[in-house]
Every structure is written in C-alpha cells, then in structure tokens.
C-alpha cells in the first residue's frame, strides 16, 4: 500500500472532496503540493482525543472510525468515514486539543496537510481557507439540525413559563 501519490493524482483526489469543491486548479495544485502521503494499519490511532493537533488527514483509501469519550468515560461512535472524507481539519484553524479519536478500520491510505504548510498556502491562495470554512459551516449546520431533531424531555414549568422558583421552609405559606 506504500506508494507515493503523484501531484496530478493528488489534485484529482482533492477535486473530489467536498471541502475543496469549487477551487481552481491552481489552488488545488497548491494544496496538493504540500500534502504528504501517509498510511495507517487496522487499529492504529490516526488522531487521539486530547492530543495537540497540527494536521488534517484526507482519506484516499480505506475507512476510519471517529469516537469521542463521554463524561462517563465511555466512547461514543460519531462517524464512519471513508474515501473522499477528511478528519482533523479543526487543527488547521485553532490550537485546541483534538476533540475526537480517529482509528483506522483496516488499512488506510491518507494525504496529510500540516498546519504550517496550510498557513503558507492560504497566504498565497486565500480562497482555499474560505472554501474550507464554507464546508465547515455546512457541517456545523447539519450537526445543529441533528441536535434539534433529538427529542428533549419536557422542561419543568419554571423553565417554560419563565417563573423563578422560590425556596420555602416546610410548613410556611408563600408570601
């Protein structure tokens, strides 16, 4: 599986990914030129929740599992991703710790985009960052829609009517 991807192959791969949709060939070439080949084997953690991040991974072949630990310490599956998908993109825009763990589900061929090279590319081709932000915004809106589709238990009357709860001593009457 360890073969180097040519620049033209990288451009074609990037062109098919939603996050780079609509970019000009010159912009795709600039991103492709700084992407490095990588691979992971089944069970390898590509990204570990809580770690510092400086890379985005583009999935060329194979599948990955994205999980996140809940407050109870149990891992929750967030997504199964495959060819044409990407992970770790937030690390290119901020310095926060990784928000999830990404594990190879079988052999995975990747392209890696490092923050430093990304920053240099964006200085010359700002449209790259703008396109990525549009895609990230779309993802956030979809997540927002999913959250609002989750049934929520009925709130106590004090929340729905706006009344404030008052604490009373047992046996006392409201004042």
Mean pLDDT of the region 107-125: 97
Mean pLDDT of the region 137-147: 85
Evaluate whether residue 89 is within a structural domain: yes
How many Å apart are CA 110 and CA 128, to the nearest integer? 20
How many Å apart are CA 3 and CA 61, to the nearest integer? 12
Q: In the structure, what pLDDT confidence band is assigned to residue 60 with cuts at 50, 70 and 90?
A: very high
Q: Report the domain count for the chain.
A: 1
How many Å apart are CA 82 and CA 59, to the nearest integer? 6
Mean pLDDT of the region 28-38: 97
Evaluate whether residue 18 is within a structural domain: yes
What per-residue confidence (pLDDT) applies to 169? 56
What percent of the chain is modeled with pLDDT above 90? Answer: 68
The pTM score is 0.79
Q: In the structure, what pLDDT confidence band is assigned to residue 73 with cuts at 50, 70 and 90?
A: confident
Question: pLDDT digits over 90-111, tens only?
Answer: 999 999 999 999 999 999 999 9
Which domain does 99 fall in, by range?
A: 7-143
Instruction: State the DSSP H helix or E strand holding residue 3, giving kind and residue range, or none if neither.
Output: none
Evaluate whether residue 160 is within a structural domain: no
Domain CATH number, residue 21 = 2.60.120.10
Start-end of H helices in 79-172:
115-124, 126-149, 157-161
Task: Please check the confidence at residue 34 and state whether its pLDDT lies above 90.
Answer: yes
Q: Is 63 exposed, middle or buried (0-12, 13-18, 19+ CB in 10 A)?
A: middle
How many Å apart are CA 123 and CA 109, to the nearest integer? 28
- Could you give the angle at the alpha carbon of 148 between the alpha carbons of 147 and 151, nearest 5°? 95
What per-residue confidence (pLDDT) applies to 143? 80
Task: Please check the confidence at residue 29 and state whether its pLDDT lies above 70.
Answer: yes
Q: Is 29 exposed, middle or buried (0-12, 13-18, 19+ CB in 10 A)?
A: middle
What per-residue confidence (pLDDT) applies to 167? 52
């Amino acid at each position: 599986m360890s073969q180097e991807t040519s620049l033209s192959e990288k451009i074609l791969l990037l062109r098919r990914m939603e996050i780079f949709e609509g970019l000009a060939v010159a912009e795709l070439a600039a991103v492709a030129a700084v992407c490095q080949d990588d691979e992971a084997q089944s069970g390898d953690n590509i990204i570990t929740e809580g770690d510092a991040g400086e890379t985005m991974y583009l999935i060329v072949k194979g599948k990955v599992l994205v999980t996140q630990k809940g407050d109870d310490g149990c891992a929750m599956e967030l997504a199964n991703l495959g060819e044409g998908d990407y992970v770790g993109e937030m690390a290119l825009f901020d310095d926060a710790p990784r928000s999830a763990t990404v594990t190879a589900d079988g052999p995975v061929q990747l392209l890696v985009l490092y923050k430093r090279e990304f920053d240099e590319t964006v200085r010359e081709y700002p449209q790259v960052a703008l396109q990525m932000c549009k895609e990230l915004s779309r993802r956030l809106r979809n997540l927002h829609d999913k959250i609002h589709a989750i049934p929520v238990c009925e709130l106590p009357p004090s929340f729905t009517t706006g009344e404030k709860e008052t604490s009373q001593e047992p046996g006392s009457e409201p004042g």
